[in-house]
Amino acid sequence: MRPGLNKLQTGWHALQRDRRSVVITWLALGLILACLPFLTELSLGRSWVRILDFTLLYIMLALGLNIVVGYAGLLDLGYIAFYAVGAYLYALLASPQFGLHWPVWAILPLGALVAGVFGVLLGAPTLKLRGDYLAIVTLGFGEIVRIFLNNLNTPYNITNGPQGISQIDPIQIGGIDLHQTQHLLTLTIPSTHLYYYLFLIFTLLIIFVSIRLQDSRIGRAWIAIREDEVAASAMGINTRNIKLLAFAMGASFGGISGGLFAGFQGFISPESFTLFESIIVLCMIVLGGMGNIAGVILGAILLTIFPEALRYLGEWQQLLLGRVWVDPNDLRLLIFGLALVLSMIFHPAGLLPSTRRARELHARRSILAQEQDSLYEQQR
Amino acid sequence: MKTAPTHLNGITVAVLLTAGLTTGCQQKVDDSVVRIGSVAPLTGMQAHYGKDNDNGARLAVEELNARGVVIGGKKVTIEVLSEDDQADPRTATIVAQKLVDKQIKGVIGHMNSGASIPASKIYHDARIPQISPSATAISYTAQGFDTAFRVMTNDREQGKVVGEYAVKKLGAKAVAIIDDRTAYGQGLADEVEKTVLLAGGKIASRQFTTDHATDFTAILTAIKATHPDLVFYGGMDPQGAPLVKQMRNLGIQAQYLGSDGIKTLEFLSLAGKDGDGTIASMPGLPLDKMPGGKTFSDKFTAHYGPIQVYAPYAYDAMNVMVAAMVRAGSTDPAKYLAELHTIHYSGVTGDIAFDHNGDIKAAAITLYQAKNGKWEFLETITSNGEAK
Amino acid sequence: MDIFSQQLINGLVLGSIYALIALGYTMVYGILGLINFAHGEITMFGAMVSLAILHALLLHTGLPTAMIFALALLGAIGFCMALGFSIERVAYRPLRNAPRLAPLITAIGMSIVLQNTAMLIWGKKFLSFPDIIPIQRYQIAGANITNLQVAIIVLAIVLMLGLWTLIQRSRLGRAMRATAQSPELAALMGINPNRIISATFMLGAALAAIAGIMVNAYYGPAHYTMGFMLGLKAFTAAVLGGIGNIAGAMLGGLVLGLIESFGAGYISQLSGGFMGSNYQSVFAFTVLIIILVFRPSGLLGERVGERV
């Protein structure tokens, strides 16, 4: 796996040197992304287009969490709360719950904003906390948000409690109802495909923002804080504001993704925003390679698609062994867990580590090796 | 330019691979095979209930196939496609779409309301009838989807019967209510609370727990201070059973009342002696009093072990669906859907006919009491209040 | 007043169990700086293994009940120690020098693997503890207490005192403290850090196994998913007390248990009827956040100097 990846990376770098092939590669990539839902439906069926849609939502979530954990180094175990805030905001403003039917272009920016405010609310009291103390406080924050959503049906019915909110308006853009099959010339575009294109646009937008942030002053300030907070503040970085900005930015990505989720599903309930979801998103970025956008995307893709692919375990058993030995549903999560463990053991810095991280890891290993050598010398 | 072709080759290979992966799952469906989906959580906290639902549907199909089903003059075989929705709303929509892709003609499921509601939209768009054996949230059939049915009474009907029973039959004046903050527990407990107040009872205390909880001593102590005559629990047996044990340990002697979530064999074995005297409601008529009920429970027990709780409903749901196909003489959902709306079917849980929402019409609810490790029949009440 | 003393007892029992599990988190953290997310699953295995032994022996042998119980306890402790040892070997040792979050993810992976392995072995049903302990109920200061509750509190105190002595007085304890401060220097002193780390995992696992049996015997049925919530609560307790600090884990466990039971009991009065026991966890987490805002390293945690 490792040499393969390296080869791919060197291939990629060689490619980037060649202008023409760069253009060709991007065109090919664009073409593939554009045709992907149709190819997927033809080969695997429409349920996989739905899985693609969810993959894009998770990519957005993972990129948001990457800002907090990957760039700024703040371990956040309650990230799904922002996804929930975005989703509930959409559901409350566009459903029969309050009889409101706001348009999507008004709700999504508002969702990003409100989620960002929640991000600051979480960040403000926790500025002094580090590492695992921060982890438990953010975890608590995520649970607090979920519990409020689950219980705010009394004394005033705001969220409809555990029953969730149903009949949420589908997303409409310029008079096009994304929930209806659309016809373009001779092409029939089903709803799942329409949502795919919408989510793809948002994902690309978020990737773009992530790249720009990474190379900006703010991005460098985040990395400085991650590496050494004291030194960073000595260099004149306002660590408080910069940290809060990380929480707010990360949260707003989650808010947008949540709003899209609510419109896509048409129904939301607090069950979708459990701690386990926060943990899975964290797994995505660590598994893929924290701080590296390509890695985070890869992690999100793998962890969304892999559990779904494992549903075919029964059919594979049938094919290879002649009969179904173990109920595939009983094996699915077991294999998922094993894959997490093995992947981290063989790629501790993630599948596609950020170049900076890879360098650090390498450096740290060699320092350790030196220390050990010198210890042995002393012992002698 | 040298490296580009290899890279593009890689992409081509990937595309081909994806295409190749699929050969297994896109076989042409044989006309004589009718595929019906069965969806329930098969992993996680509720897996033991989910497996029970799935087995109920499977037993029905096994019998139907053994007997031979003729639809529109043609002999058909029914095939069940089981899927695990993990009781998760998002996963529910994926498996729903997956079943639609596999050209199912109908679906028995999902088990939970939280999964049934988002999935119902996908079945509705694909015009595929869905009969849930056990979703009880009112909003499931209130979305205006003509494809969503259920064979179990909704929370409102059951809550009404249970609440009135507590006040009028059991003579409880002060009632304490606990729910597990799930769609099922909260929905039912809220209806019970309403009815108790309407019937002239008083709510002594309203407490809450979660469907992951193991410690109930704190809320029970708060309840003890209000001296209730009766404690109602809205939730399932993993919490309902230890709850009654802890209640007795704290010295609360009030009558314990629950719903179908605790009317299980599991409850009896988990609660042990402390479970004795517990009263629980269950939608439908008692199984052993129904024609075919005894045969069903014997057969089921021999095949899959003891019935947990909802298997008979899944069994009925599957039978109703196939009966509608037979009557319509077609497995085409567009044709047999109309039959489902007008059908009268006599199942093992009672007479099944659907109202315009897709809810079951003649809602009967039976009360049982735990005595010496067994559930004993008390009485059956129809939702308009008369005892049978 | 009886309500108050009853909630106090409820909280103490719950807190003792949290404390036993929290010790495992905090000892491992103290030495490796690692959150062993799979620790809750060890608790679950403790309950499951003891149940399996109990059922097997009750059914097939005529041994006296007390002896069967002792065998089940020892069996579960032994099994869990082996499990703790193997988890460290398989999932954590290869990642000793990896980035900080990598072992967190393997821990989550291990937790999923262990849960599903337990599901394959013991099935999806909830398993109740056999009726072998005759329950006696007493009244103290207007509160009800059972012999089982007393046993849990007493056993937890004995275990914690034992652990404290072990760490302060024994060779192993000294070696553990030395390794926690500096593995390199400890190695120079002739201590094998790997052996000490294994011993720490096994010690934590033994306590978790006992806690698992307590939960099963007192609160309710065992299930393959039971470890997750317990582990999470215990982890919270460890952080509350100051993670890495042994006394902190004991105190944190007790405090969390008390917060939870008083929270559920009195939150309604405190919030003027707006919130009920449905906000129990909100109350607990809010208290936690407030404590951490004022004491960022937990109740007994040392203020770690910032390294420049």
- Residues 68-127, chain A: which have Cβ within 8 Å of B? none
**What is the pLDDT at residue C86?**
95
**What is the pLDDT at residue B77?**
95
CA distance C236 to chain A (A): 7
User: Least CA distance to A317: which residue of chain B?
Assistant: B24
Distance of alpha carbon C32 from the chain centroid: 18
User: Least CA distance to A139: which residue of chain C?
Assistant: C285
CB B360 within 8 A of CB B152: yes
Compute the average pLDDT of residues C279-306. Answer: 82
Domain range annotation of chain B: 33-153+288-357, 156-283+366-382
List residues bridging with A200 in a β-sheet.
none
Indicate yes or no: CB of C101 within 8 angstroms of CB of A75. Answer: yes
Compute the average pLDDT of residues A286-290. Answer: 91
Indicate yes or no: CB of C110 within 8 angstroms of CB of A337. Answer: yes
What's chain C look like in SS3? CHHHHHHHHHHHHHHHHHHHHHHHHHHHHHHHCCCCCCHHHHHHHHHHHHHHHHHHHHHHCCCCHHHHHHHHHHHHHHHHHHHHHHHHHHHHHHHCCCCCCHHHHHHHHHHHHHHHHHHHHHCCCCECCCCCCCCCEEEECCEEEEHHHHHHHHHHHHHHHHHHHHHHHCHHHHHHHHHHHCHHHHHHCCCCHHHHHHHHHHHHHHHHHHHHHHHHHHHCCECCCHHHHHHHHHHHHHHHHCCCCHHHHHHHHHHHHHHHHHHHHHHHHHCCCCCCHHHHHHHHHHHHHHHHHHCCCCCCCCCCCCCC
What's B194-257 look like in SS3? HHHHHCCCEEEEEEECCCCCCCCHHHHHHHHCCCCCEEEEECCHHHHHHHHHHHHHCCCCCEEE
DSSP summary character for residue B144: -
Q: Is the pLDDT of residue A311 over 90?
A: no
* pLDDT tens digits for range A183-194: 888 888 999 999
CB B149 within 8 A of CB B120: no
Which of the four pLDDT bands, split at 50, 70 and 90, describes residue C40? very high
Q: How far is residue B98's CA from residue A302's CA, in Å, rounded to a whole number?
A: 19
Report the share of chain A in percent with pLDDT over 90.
Answer: 63
Which of the four pLDDT bands, split at 50, 70 and 90, describes residue A316? confident
Which sign, positive or negative, has the C-alpha torsion B27, B32, B38, B43? Answer: negative
**What is the pLDDT at residue B18?**
46
**What is the pLDDT at residue B244?**
96
Q: How far is residue A261's CA from residue A165's CA, in Å, rounded to a whole number?
A: 13
Cα three-residue angle B290-B295-B300, rounded to 5 degrees: 115
Which of the four pLDDT bands, split at 50, 70 and 90, describes residue A370? very low
Q: Is the pLDDT of residue C282 over 60?
A: yes
Which of the four pLDDT bands, split at 50, 70 and 90, describes residue A164? very high
Compute the average pLDDT of residues C262-285. Answer: 86
List residues bridging with B70 in a β-sheet.
B75
- Subunit partners of chain C (3 or more CB pairs within 8 A): A, B
**What is the pLDDT at residue B145?**
94
Query: Which segments of A228-274 does DSSP mark as H helices, in order?
Result: 229-234, 239-265
Distance of alpha carbon C39 from the chain centroid: 8
* pLDDT tens digits for range C101-113: 888 889 999 999 9
**What is the pLDDT at residue B7?**
44
Q: Which architecture does CATH list for B33-153+288-357?
A: 3-Layer(aba) Sandwich (3.40)
Q: How far is residue C45's CA from residue B160's CA, in Å, rounded to a whole number?
A: 42
Compute the average pLDDT of residues A129-157. Answer: 90
- Residues 118-177, chain A: which have Cβ within 8 Å of C? 125-126, 128-133, 135-137, 139-141, 143-144, 147-148, 150-151, 155
Report the share of chain C in percent with pLDDT over 90.
Answer: 60
**What is the pLDDT at residue A2?**
52
Domain range annotation of chain C: 17-244
Residues in Cβ contact with A156 at an 8 Å cutoff, skipping those fewer than 6 apart:
none
* pLDDT tens digits for range A40-54: 999 999 999 999 999
Q: Is the pLDDT of residue A78 over 80?
A: yes
Interface test with C, best of A290, A341, A377 (most C CBs within 10 A): A341
DSSP summary character for residue B147: T
Compute the average pLDDT of residues A73-91. Answer: 95
Q: Which chain A residues are Cβ-neighbours of B95 within 8 angstroms?
A: 47
CB A84 within 8 A of CB A258: yes
Compute the average pLDDT of residues A134-160. Answer: 92
Which of the four pLDDT bands, split at 50, 70 and 90, describes residue A1? very low
Residues with pLDDT less than 70, chain B: 1-30, 383-388
Indicate yes or no: CB of A282 within 8 angstroms of CB of C94. Answer: no
Tally C-beta pairs within 8 A across A and B.
130
Indicate yes or no: CB of A125 within 8 angstroms of CB of C289. Answer: yes
Compute the average pLDDT of residues A69-78. Answer: 92
Report helix angle C193-214 to C147-169, nearest 10.
Answer: 170
* pLDDT tens digits for range B150-178: 999 999 999 999 999 999 999 999 999 99
Which range is most confident: A75-79, B261-265, C44-48, C221-225?
C44-48
Report the share of chain C in percent with pLDDT over 70.
Answer: 97
CA distance A366 to chain C (A): 11
- Range from A130-134, A348-352, B66-70 carrying the lowest mean pLDDT: A130-134
Q: Which chain B residues are Cβ-neighbours of C123 within 8 angstroms?
A: 48
Q: Which architecture does CATH list for B156-283+366-382?
A: 3-Layer(aba) Sandwich (3.40)
**What is the pLDDT at residue A277?**
93
Environment class of A323 (CB within 10 Å of its CB; exposed 0-12, middle 13-18, buried 19+): exposed
Residues of C with CB under 8 A from a CB of B: 3, 6-7, 10-11, 13-14, 119, 123-126, 128, 131, 135, 137, 144, 146, 215, 219-221, 223, 225-226, 228-230, 260-265, 268, 276-278, 280-281
**What is the pLDDT at residue B5?**
43
Helix (H) or strand (E) holding A50: helix A46-65
Which amino acid is residue B106, in one-letter code?
A: G
| Candidates 1.10.287, 1.10.3470, 1.10.8, 1.20.120; CATH matching A47-291 | 1.10.3470
Number of residues written out for chain C: 308
**What is the pLDDT at residue B241?**
95
Q: Which chain A residues are Cβ-neighbours of C35 within 8 angstroms?
A: 132, 135
pLDDT averaged over chain A? Answer: 87
**What is the pLDDT at residue C24?**
93
Tally C-beta pairs within 8 A across A and C.
142
Environment class of B271 (CB within 10 Å of its CB; exposed 0-12, middle 13-18, buried 19+): buried
Q: How far is residue A173's CA from residue A178's CA, in Å, rounded to a whole number?
A: 7
For A164, the closest of B1, B19, B114 (CB atoms) is B114
Interface test with B, best of C8, C135, C144 (most B CBs within 10 A): C144
CB environment A247-282: b (16+ within 10 A), e (fewer):
bbbbbbbbbbbbbbbbbbbbbbbbbbbbbebbbbbb
Phi first, then psi, for residue B118 (nearest 5°) are -65, -35
**What is the pLDDT at residue B16?**
46
Q: How far is residue B354's CA from residue B337's CA, in Å, rounded to a whole number?
A: 12
CB atoms within 10 A of CB A152: 16
Is the peptide bond preceding residue B110 cis, with omega within 30 degrees of 0? yes
Q: How far is residue B139's CA from residue B144's CA, in Å, rounded to a whole number?
A: 10
Q: Which chain C residues are Cβ-neighbours of A333 within 8 angstroms?
A: 112, 115-116
pLDDT averaged over chain C? Answer: 90
- Subunit partners of chain B (3 or more CB pairs within 8 A): A, C
For B183, the closest of A266, A269, A333 (CB atoms) is A269
Domain range annotation of chain A: 1-44, 47-291
**What is the pLDDT at residue C184?**
85
CB environment B115-128: b (16+ within 10 A), e (fewer):
bbbbbbbbbbbbeb
Compute the average pLDDT of residues C277-284. Answer: 90
Which sign, positive or negative, has the C-alpha torsion C172, C177, C181, C185? Answer: negative
Q: Which chain B residues are Cβ-neighbours of A167 within 8 angstroms?
A: 143
Q: Which chain B residues are Cβ-neighbours of A269 within 8 angstroms?
A: 89, 114, 183
Identify the residue whose tokens are 């704290």.
Answer: B250
